[in-house]
Amino acid sequence: MASKVFRPRLNLNHVTFQGNNNHAQSHSFGQVFLHKKTGVSSSRRSVVAAEAAAMAEETIAKTGNSALSHFWREVQGSNNWENLVEPLHPLLRKEIIRYGEFVAACYKAFDLDPTSKRYLHCKYGKSRMLNEVGMEDCGYTVTKYIYATPDINIPMQNEASRGHWIGYVAVSSDESAVKRLGRRDLLIAFRGTVTNHEWVTNLMSSLTPARLDPNNPNPDVKVESGFLSLYTSDETKSKFGLESCREQLLSEVSRLLNKHKVEDLSITLAGHSMGSALALLLAYDIAELGLNKTDHETVPITAFSFGGPRVGNPSFKQRCEELGVKVMRIVNVNDPITKLPGMFLNENFRVLGGRYELPWISCSCYAHVGVELVMDFFNVQNPSCVHDLETYISLLKCPTKTLYTRKEGFDNLLNRARELIFSARSLKSICL
């Protein structure tokens, strides 16, 4: 049975931060603590964690950003972020924020005006996209735009079922940025669900074998059918139709890896919501095909997931770990998307009442992949903030306001409900 984690909540704290409209917004959120039998109160631990984070920030400020060039592999998860999450290391926090802003650029550049000629595409050309969204000094150059085709034959008002702009590929091109990062970084950023067709695709929550490697089909490795469809569907039946999202990505990643194969490289994927699912599928795909293996090294693959759902079954999770895919999941405990799919049948549902093994569970339920950085925020006046990427980023910029902790066992309320349902002792007490 999944290990239990007791998570006491403090009274809500009132915090002001910058929101989407560049004006101060008020959000109330609680703090999450990992219960440890240390004899130290949770409130005292929050103070200690905040002090540790402040001291680390001061150290980084004194040593400069160049510290990242010597520490980038650990920040990218080479040791599964051991001792970097609790408290959250300032270099890791800065990198998470930086990659989150690359994802936010997808939303800022996406054209949602039905009257525009660029409707459901990027507003800007590749050469100026990052400049237009305020990231002119990021040190990256966009090399390719990525389009995904929802495989849905349902007519919807003002929305054709064809390729929509889903994200972009970029590479750290500025030499000063490469020096600061300590390597050449290949970045792929994905936006989350926006269009109606994408919402319908997200509802296709059935598991299907991934079979992305023709030489190793591995039918036990299963992923959510809607995400897989969005990743692999194409328009090749049309005369000028697009290749699949997958083909576009693998072609460009291969090209860039070959171009920079003599350098130290990293492959970083970042996405929000549905984009997190696509990022994880791509990370798995690259590793399964061995595209990240060069004569020089095995290029590390890291995915930063913001408010991401589950993507596959436990066999998919296990295979990702075997392939060395590193995943950092940034989640809000109040964000319902992070509980789906598989709200009930998931990685925590391993046994019935602690007594009966479920041998079919590895094939028929969902499991999260990677290490989790847990946040806890909610605003009664604006409930949608629980899944808003800008809210995630804004609160990450306030390290002394919230405490983050790695979560080993999640959905404890659901776990307790399952124990209540399936434990004979509990059932007997209810009947009495």
**Token pair listed for 187:** 């970045």
Q: Is 273 a catalytic residue?
A: yes
Cα 404 to its chain centre, rounded Å, is 16
Decide if 35 is catalytic. Answer: no
User: For strand 184-190 and strand 164-172, is the pairing parallel, antiparallel, or unpaired?
Assistant: antiparallel
Mean pLDDT calculated for residue range 84-99: 95
How much of the chain, in percent, has pLDDT values that exceed 70?
Answer: 66
- Given 273, 305, 315, 394, the catalytic residue: 273
Gap between the terminal Cα atoms of the chain: 26
Alpha carbons within 13 A on the beta-carbon side of 281? 31
**pLDDT for position 399:** 59
pLDDT tens, 16-74? 333 333 333 333 223 322 223 333 333 444 444 445 455 555 545 444 445 899 999 99
Annotation says 27 is catalytic: no
Q: Tell me what pLDDT residue 151 has.
A: 64
**Nearest Cα to Cα of residue 29 among 405, 306, 334, 305:** 334
Considering only CA atoms, which of 272, 286, 342 is closest in space to residue 312?
342
Q: Is 331 exposed, middle or buried (0-12, 13-18, 19+ CB in 10 A)?
A: buried
| Helix, strand, coil share (%) of the chain residues, nearest 5 | 35, 20, 45
CA 422 – CA 387 distance, rounded (Å): 32
Q: Which residue has the tokens 């660029």?
A: 118
Amino acid at 243: E
Q: What is the pLDDT of residue 30?
A: 30
Residues 6+ apart with CB under 8 A from 313: 207, 220, 221, 222, 223, 362, 363, 364, 365, 366, 367
pLDDT score of 163 = 81
Residue 149 has phi, psi (to 5 degrees) of -115, 105
Of 376, 387, 388, 394, which is the active-site residue?
387
Question: Could you say which of 185, 234, 335, 388 is catalytic?
Answer: 335
What domains are defined for the chain?
60-99+139-340+359-399 (3.40.50.1820)
Confidence of residue 148 (pLDDT cuts 50, 70, 90): very high
DSSP 65: G
Take residue 175 and report the two structure tokens written for it.
């030499």
State the Cα–Cα distance between residues 177 and 195, nearest whole angstrom. Answer: 35
Retrieve residue 403's tokens. Answer: 């405490």
Alpha carbons 392 and 328: distance in angstroms, whole number: 14
Closest CA to 4 of 381, 354, 401: 354
Amino acid identity for residue 136 in this structure: E
> What is the structure's pLDDT at 46?
40
